[in-house]
Structure 1
Amino acid sequence: MTMARYVTMMALLYSVGILFQGCDSDVKCRDDNGNEVDWYILYKLPNVNGYGLSYLYMDESTNGWKVSTKAINSDSGTLANTLKPLLDFYKRKTEDHGYMLYNDQPPDLYVRPSASFGHSKGVVMLDKQTGVWLSHSTPKFPKYRTNDFWPDSGSVNAQTFMCVTYSYDEFKEIGLQLKYIHAYSYDYDIPKTFHDDLRCVAQRSCYPKEKPWFRVKMLTSMNGRKFSSFAKYTRFGDDLYSGLIVNYFEQNLYVKSWGKMRGPLSSNCSSSIPHHVYNVIEVKFLKNESFSDTVDHSKWCVTPDGGWTCIADMNREKSQMKRGGGAICTENLAVVKAFSSIIESYETCELASSHSDAQDREF
């Protein structure tokens, strides 16, 4: 083989390698093995009995919870595999790649977003073909412009994550949902040729200016799975769950939110709404070990008698009635069963009534 032919062949192999490397780096949700998945849900356990970095995982193929063998901060776990296009972008500024990181508790300790911004946390990454919307409940995640994406404080409490892979076109609607949520963007790079609404949210320069102060949109994943996205702006003025979600599902709703709130809302058993909203107090995982909502910072809700499960941004708390936020919901019986099965205890109507009476007497 002549030197010229050798150089030509090596150049060809190199270009093919780059091509395949680009395919491997497509922006999609990925599991512990780096395989592409249409969607997944993670439930990181609290730092109880040494579980602080352990997590449960589910996707379309698992038919419920699966215990991951990796730590949530692993550089080869589900989150690292999903975030790889972002971490690569930091290094080589991939062309036609966009991202936005948003969090009402950003990694920068000196930044305190105004309460006018939504109580929401998430990652958006996309190219001109596909993208992911990773919604979660973890303060200061992800750390940015570094491969060390997991915050030091992240091991303490339980957290939830939901990733869905969408086509590029669907991010026009996702941008509008984030506009209603009024997400606080703390790092972004959205090319000017990408969707205007998404770019506007990333720049923190747009929000709803007229009624209705909420938006519900059906989103379609790359594999055709339907997800209902709920978003409410601050001027909606009501609880996300009892004021919006329960009215759409028309089923009793069981809500898991943070247990250390200044003004918690009791379970809603009012006769003015046809279906009740119950606060989940305790969940049970692994070896029948239970933990309370005081170490569980996750936000989710489920209709055990229906087919819906939502991974959400918000707590059931008085001050959050006046803040933006949202939820992404899937109608999937395996997911409903997985979440319903971990509910150990919840606030009954009788207990909620006694709490309400005590509050009435106090004030």
Structure 2
Amino acid sequence: MTVSSLWSLSLLLLGPILPLWATGISCINEDGKPVDWYILYKFPKYVGSDVPGSGLEYMFMDALAPTWKRSEYFINMTKSALGQTLQQLYQTYKYKKNNTAYVIYNDGPPNNMNYSWTRGHSKGFLFLDQYQGFWVIHSIPEFPPFPEDGYSYPHTGKYNGQTVICLTFRYDQFAEIDKQLLCYNPNIYNCSIPKAFQLELFNLQMMCAGSEPPPVPWKQRLIQLQSAQGETVFNFAKTHSSHEDIYLDWMAQKLKTDFLIESWHHKGHGLFSNCSLTYHVYNIKQIKIPWNSSFSSYYDHSKWCVSLKPEDRWTCIGDLNYAAQQAKRSGGFVCTQNQFIYKAFRSLVLQYYDCDPSCVYT
């Protein structure tokens, strides 16, 4: 038998040979495939009319298909990208494996636990082994469930729009993420960090154990991270001692771009569009989704911003609102100049407010 025929036989018997990163803990898309990143945007209950939807529909994009696609699943299904990604953590928890680490945090945790005003206004979870893992940042209160409870979606997360970003990282990046989350000061409500991880996840293991973490040596910290497949992202992390607005005072000026901001103004505490500094920020008024529907920012709990000018190409997704009281809360954003992510988010902006609140632009 020739070498080529042996190779063909091995492919037939073993199937497609996946790259090493794709066999590790990763973000999982709706097809059950490992991906470098994905972004999920859940629609609010009211989209385009007074007839409510389920509040569970969403659109989705990932590194393999970087354009918005309306999902055939609901977000509360285990077949959703979010459900399949979390199943990796839940299955590991079920079998009591100690070769992985995870941390789940939310200022509004599930199971009727008290809202945390003293911790960061941040929501997310990470799961990793000593080769690779993922970090999910989202805007959903009371999510995700405790691992022993299995996957579900909270009824409180149905009414408003929500965003989720999942990023796959090699192990060496989590030591930097650990320092960023020290700045976030997250409300950790479930976690497991075995001894083998405690050097790289020093701060998280202290918070996980309920110990007082070390003093934070920064008011704010900006780092560059590389995803498993080399996607460059920047993480802005601010502490509660930094009383600047993260959108206007820091991200817009640091990235040298005017931002269009989508942030929850439901209770009327949001700030106005602001042109007082070199780079400006503008509040989005109306979101247009690609299926001839739109919804008001009033019904959107997501937190993201996108460059006004296409040539700047910045998109940032995180967990802080553009609001006066949020300037005193800790949290952060991940930002990217990925052209596909930028194009997808910029296309959502139907209307936004000028710095004169009486003027609305399309």
- What TM bracket, shorter-length normalisation? 0.7 to 0.9
C-alpha separation in 1, matches of 2:216 and 2:177:
19
C-alpha separation in 1, matches of 2:267 and 2:252:
22
Q: Which residue of structure 2 aligns with residue 292 of structure 1?
A: 296
C-alpha separation in 2, matches of 1:67 and 1:204:
41
C-alpha separation in 2, matches of 1:217 and 1:246:
16
> Counterpart amino acid of 2:139?
S
CA spacing shift, 1:260–1:208, aligned 2, 3 Å: farther
Give how far 1:126 is off. 0.7
Q: Which residue of structure 1 aligns with residue 230 of structure 2?
A: 224
Q: Which residue of structure 2 aligns with residue 121 of structure 1?
A: 123
Q: Which residue of structure 2 aligns with residue 149 of structure 1?
A: 152
Q: Which residue of structure 2 aligns with residue 171 of structure 1?
A: 174
- Deviations 1:205-240, CA, capped at 9 Å, x for gaps: 455736530000001111111110000000000111
C-alpha separation in 2, matches of 1:95 and 1:117:
28
C-alpha separation in 2, matches of 1:136 and 1:269:
28
| Aligned 8 A contact 1:175 1:201 in 2 | no
C-alpha separation in 1, matches of 2:54 and 2:217:
45
Do residues 316 (structure 1) and 322 (structure 2) align? yes
Name the stretch that deviates more: 67-76 or 30-39: 67-76
> Counterpart amino acid of 2:124?
G
1:63 to 62, 66, 75: 66
Give how far 1:192 is off. 1.9
Name the stretch that deviates more: 46-55 or 240-249: 46-55
Give how far 1:30 is off. 0.5
- Deviations 1:126-185, CA, capped at 9 Å, x for gaps: 111111000000000101122133212222111000000001121111011111011110
| Aligned 8 A contact 1:266 1:352 in 2 | no
CA spacing shift, 1:210–1:190, aligned 2, 3 Å: closer
Q: Which residue of structure 2 aligns with residue 131 of structure 1?
A: 133
Give how far 1:308 is off. 1.1
Do residues 196 (structure 1) and 202 (structure 2) align? yes
C-alpha separation in 1, matches of 2:209 and 2:261:
32
| Aligned 8 A contact 1:172 1:197 in 2 | no
SS at match of 2:302: coil
Q: CA RMSD in A?
A: 2.2
> Counterpart amino acid of 1:27?
I
1:46 to 32, 44, 47: 44
Q: Which residue of structure 2 aligns with residue 242 of structure 1?
A: 248
Do residues 30 (structure 1) and 28 (structure 2) align? yes
| Aligned 8 A contact 1:45 1:51 in 2 | no
Name the stretch that deviates more: 216-225 or 139-148: 139-148
Number of residue pairs the alignment of both structures matches = 331
| Aligned 8 A contact 1:279 1:347 in 2 | yes
TM-score between the two structures when normalised by the length of structure 2: 0.86
- Deviations 1:229-267, CA, capped at 9 Å, x for gaps: 000000000111012111111010111000213522111
Segments of 4+ in structure 1 off by > 4 A? none
SS at match of 2:233: strand
Give how far 1:325 is off. 0.9
Name the stretch that deviates more: 338-347 or 89-98: 89-98
2:355 to 349, 356, 363: 349
2:99 to 96, 100, 114: 96
CA spacing shift, 1:341–1:208, aligned 2, 3 Å: farther
CA spacing shift, 1:258–1:207, aligned 2, 3 Å: farther
Name the stretch that deviates more: 43-52 or 175-184: 43-52
| Aligned 8 A contact 2:83 2:151 in 1 | no
C-alpha separation in 2, matches of 1:220 and 1:206:
30
> Counterpart amino acid of 1:166?
F
Q: Which residue of structure 2 aligns with residue 9 of structure 1?
A: none
- Deviations 1:316-362, CA, capped at 9 Å, x for gaps: 11111101010011111111111111111112111179xxxxxxxxx
How do 1:301-312 residues align onto structure 2 when only pairs under 5 Å count? 301-305=305-309, 306-312=312-318
CA spacing shift, 1:93–1:340, aligned 2, 3 Å: same
Higher share in helix: 1
| Aligned 8 A contact 2:110 2:143 in 1 | yes
Q: Which residue of structure 2 aligns with residue 10 of structure 1?
A: none
Question: What is the aligned-residue identity percentage?
Answer: 37
